[in-house]
Amino acid sequence: MEVSNAKPRVNFSQLRKFMGKKVLLVGEIQVMQNNTVRMKAADGGMVTVELTKGPHFDGGEFWEFEGVVQSPTSVKEESRTSYGDRFDLATYNEVCRLSCDKYTQVFL
């Protein structure tokens, strides 16, 4: 893993720690509006994602966005990946938590 280019996986609650940094955010799309989407992050918080790659979302409700944290509630997209329509957010939430708390050294 490239340490210099580390992209931690975050939940809503962790966004504020990574202001201006690149993160990976996974969530379930709730609302689509022009150039933004609002999605539910793994810990339930709603995040606004500013789209830069177009408004097309084929393939499911769950997406992973790689982007820069703009504010504690929004992220600017750099790229996106589809996670299909079956994804267990609860488990993912745990993973996020662990990777940021206990096992940070494994990920970063």
Partner 1 sequence: MAQPDRGCLQRVKRQEACEGGICLQISALQKKDANRYSCTLGDGETTVAGLTSSQVGKQVEGGEISNWNIVRASNFTCNQINSKHVLMLLDCEVVGEGQAPADAPSTSPKKAPAQNAPQETPAAKKIKMDPDAATLANPPQSPLKPGIDVLPQSAASMQVDAALGSTDAEAKPDAASEPMHTVIKAEEAQAADTPADAPAANDAPAPMESTTQANTPARDAKENRNAQNAQVRTPAAAVKPLGWGSGTPGRGGPTPPSTGPASRGRPVQPIAALNPYNCAWTIQARVASRGNKRSFSRAGQDVSLFSVELVDAQGTQIEATLWREAADKYYDVLDEGKVFYFSRGKVKPANRNYAGVRNDYTISFEKDILVEECTDADDSALSQMQAKLQFISIDRLASQINKKAPVDIIGIVTDTGPLRSIKRKDSSEVAARDVTLVDQSKRTVSVTMWGSAAEEAGGDLEMQGGTNPVLSISCCRVGDYNGVSVSALQRSVVAINPEGPEAAELREWWDTEGISAPTQHAGEGLASARKGSGGSSKGHCQLKDIQKEAHELVPDAKPEYHNVTATVAMIDPSQTLYYQACPDNGRKVVQQGDMWLCEFNGQLYPAMERRYMCLSKCADFTGEVMISFMNQQGDRLLGIRADDIAEYKEGEDTQRYQAIIKQAQWSDWSLVVRSNTSEYNGETRQRFLVQSLEPLDYVKESRRLIQQLVQ
The one-letter amino acid code at 71 reads S
Minimum gap (Å) between residue 98 Cβ and partner 1: 6
Site residues for partner 1, window 69-108 (CB under 8 A)? 88, 91, 94-95, 98, 102-103
Q: What is the rounded distance in angstroms from the CA atom of residue 66 to the CA atom of residue 50?
A: 11
Minimum gap (Å) between residue 33 Cβ and partner 1: 30
How many chain residues bind partner 1 (CB under 8 A)? 7
Minimum gap (Å) between residue 48 Cβ and partner 1: 28
Q: What is the DSSP string of 22-68?
A: EEEEEEEEEEEETTEEEEEETTS-EEEEE-SS-S---S-SEEEEEEE
Binding site for partner 1 (CB under 8 A): 88, 91, 94-95, 98, 102-103
